[in-house]
Each structure stands twice: as C-alpha cells, then as structure tokens.
Structure 1
Amino acid sequence: MRRQLRTDAGQAFPIYVVMVAGLLFLACAFFAVGKASATRNGAQGAADAAALAAAQDARDTLGPPFVASLMTPGGLHEFLQDYTFQTGTPCMEAQRFAASNRADTKSCYATYGYLQDRMHVSIRTRYTVGDTVIPGTETRQGTADATAVIEFRCTYKFKGDPGDPVAFKCDGRDGISIDPTDFDQGAWAALSKAIFAVHLVDD
C-alpha cells in the first residue's frame, strides 16, 4: 500500500511542475499585456496633449485676421471658409508637449473646412514596452494619433456696414460685441478663445 502511494505521488509531481510552470507563463503573459496596454495609453495621452496644444496655439493666431475680416463685405464668410494658418509654430508646440510625455511627433498637419479647422498629430514614444515573455516587445514603441478641432462657436447678424460693430452670440449666450475699428490689440488671445472652441475629435 505504501509503495502504491509513493508511485502515485511520483506520478503527480511532474504534473504539478507543469501546472505551476503554465500558471507562471500565463502570469508573465498577462504582465506583458498590461505593459503593452500602459505603453499604448501613454502614447495616446501624449498624442491627445500634442494635438490640443497645436490647435490652441493655432487658435491664438486667429484674432487679427478675424477682426480684419469684419472690415470688408462678405469678409467674415470668406475668412471662415478660406483662411489657412501657418502650422510651423503649432507643430513646434505639439512637439514640445509630446516631449514632455516622453514622445516625439511623427507627423503634424492641418486640414481646413468651413466653420472648423483640424490639427492632426501622430506620435511615437521614446520608451518601449520592455522585456517580456512575448518576443519583440523590448523594441516595440507606442504609437498613437489624435485630432483636435478649432471650431467657430458663434452666430451673428450684420446690421450695419462693414467696419461697424458686430454682435455675436457664442454658445447660445449674447454679450460679445466687436468694433473692428477700435479693438484692443492686447486682447487677441482672449478674443480667439471666446470665438473659437478647441476640443479633441475622433478622426
């Protein structure tokens, strides 16, 4: 009887070792998936921050041409439909925010549309997933894309001639009146924030 017990125990031991090894491998695999997910989330956060920074920087340049458009017949419509801003400085701002999140921009560009423009940013992390039981993760970097929109948030009615003050209703609220012939140039950024919204969108 004792000999039979020893035999059964000897047969069970290899099975136990295989089970423990399998559980350890699964644990390591789940750990690798977790590290990959964390890298992906970090990349997406960096891309979102970079796209928002680029769009906000571009928005801050829109005040002067916006006010100038109120001086000519049909000028505001033409501005909203056709105006294009330079992307050099906004893309530098995107890179700065990407770098603060340990990433670099792969691409940064704008697309334009009536009542809204978009800044598109792609990034790659400077760090990798790291060593795991899954081959290749030690060199795998995180990548992500993000798009931020600059959206005209106001409605308006011209009641006078070009160059006369114009009243705007923004986000359903009255209260923004712009006199293009007597505008405080120190308020460009504040005007841009009041007139244009910036937010992330799905590409």
Structure 2
Amino acid sequence: MATRQRDEAGQAFPIYIVMVAGLLFLAFAFFAVGQASAARNGAQGAADAAALAAAQEARDAMRLPFLQALGEPDGLNDFLSGSQNPGLGREEANRLAAANRSDVTDFYWQQGFWQDRVTARVKTRYTVGTSVIPSTKDRHATASATAVVEFRCSLKTTPEPTGPQQGDGGEQDKDDSKDTPGPIEFTCDGRPVIIDLSSSDPLAELSKLIFAVHLIDD
C-alpha cells in the first residue's frame, strides 16, 4: 500500500513541476505586458508634452499679428483663415520630449479656420526591457499627440450711429473719430474682453484670453 502511494506521488511530481513552470511563465508574461504598458505611457506623456509646448509657443507668437489684423479692414477674417504657425514650436517640442527621455520623430501643423493643429510623434530613448517575450529589449515605445490653438471668442458688434454726433465740431468730429480706432469688444467663453488698439499695451495676456490650447484625440 505504501509502495502505491509513493508511485502516485512520483507521478504527480512532474505535473506539479509543469504547473509551477506554467505559472511562472504567465507571471513573467504579465510583467512584460506591464513593462510595455509603462513604456507606452511614457511615450504618450512625452508626445502630449511636446504637442502642448509647441501649441503654447505658437499661441504666444500670435499676439502681435492678431493686433495688426484688427487694425485692417476684414483683417480678422484674413487672420483666422490663414495659418499662422507653420514651423513654430519645433524646438520647444524637442525640448519637452527630451525632458521625457524621448525624441520627436515627426512634427507638422494643419491649418483650419479658427483652429490650427500641431501633431508631434515621439520615440522613447529607452526600450521596453528584457522579458520572456522576444525582442522587447530592443523595442522602443512610440506615440503621437495633437494639440490645437483655437480662437475662443466672438466679436461683439455695436450698431452704427444713425443720428448726428454731438460735439463742437459737428461733422468734423465724426470724421476725426473714424481716424482713431475705438476699443474692440469680444466675448471669449462668456467673458467680455475689450482691446484698445490706441493703447501702448492693449492686453498683456491677450494670447491666453483669445486663444485656447488643448489636446485632442488623434
């Protein structure tokens, strides 16, 4: 009877070894998946940072052209219809990607009315790492992100005066008022924004008030 029990135990031992080996392989496989996920998340974070940095730099550079456009007939429509950003932000995107141990592999702007988009694609400088899955030690994670610079305002129009203007100069006062542009009022996300072109510094934070920057799904 004791001999039979020893035989059964001897037969079960190889099965036990196979089961333990299988469980260990699964554990290492899950660990490899976690490594890949971490590398992917790192790449996505680098891509997001690069795209946002480029969009923010472009937004800051739009302040002066925007003010110049307001002083020209139909200048605002021309400004919003034309892309203001090609080539801007690449160095800033490279810097933010490098800070996240990645490199920008592709970078481009897309023009749109009231909205320009910048896409940054990155590749991590680090690899997924050694695992039970072949080739992971040489595999780099990649990701892309797109950010937009979006005009967030609507122009608040005021009705043209219909009667004679009051003033000592009569008609002369009306003619003089046309030569000096008055304040221009926008509504930006429900907030009134008044720009006085005659001021030496119309609005110090104009770009952030007028243009929104955010990520969108690719």
Report the residue type matching 2:78 in the other structure: E
SS in 2 for 1:28: helix
What's 2:19 paired with? 19
Is residue 180 of structure 2 the alignment partner of residue 181 of structure 1? no
Structure 2 residue runs without a partner (length 5+): 161-177
* Equivalent in the alignment of 1:201: 216
Match of 2:188 among 140, 151, 170: 170
**Mapping for residues 94-109 of structure 1, pairs under 5 Å:** 94-109=93-108
User: How far off its partner does 1:182 sit?
Assistant: 2.1
Q: What is the RMSD computed on CA atoms of the aligned residues?
A: 1.6
Amino acid at match of 1:153: R
Tell me the distance in 2 between the aligned counterparts of 1:183 and 1:112: 31
Are 2:91 and 1:74 aligned? Answer: no
1:123 alignment partner, SS class: strand
List per-residue Cα deviations over 1:161-181 (Å, max 9, x = no partner).
Answer: 69332101110112x111223
Give aligned pairs, total: 199
Q: How many percent of aligned residue pairs carry the same amino acid? A: 57
Deviations 1:115-169 (A, max 9, x none): 1101110000000000000001001101000000001011113447693321011
Unaligned runs of 5+ in 1: none
Output the amino acid matched with 2:23. Answer: L
- Distance in 1, matches of 2:202 and 2:90, equals 25
Q: Which whole-Å CA distance do the structure 1 matches of 2:188 and 2:28 have between them?
A: 54
Distance across 2 between alignment mates of 1:14 and 1:62: 72
Letter aligned with residue 196 of structure 1? F
Tell me the equivalent position of 2:41: 41
**Other structure's SS at 1:60 match:** helix
Which whole-Å CA distance do the structure 1 matches of 2:151 and 2:41 have between them?
A: 30
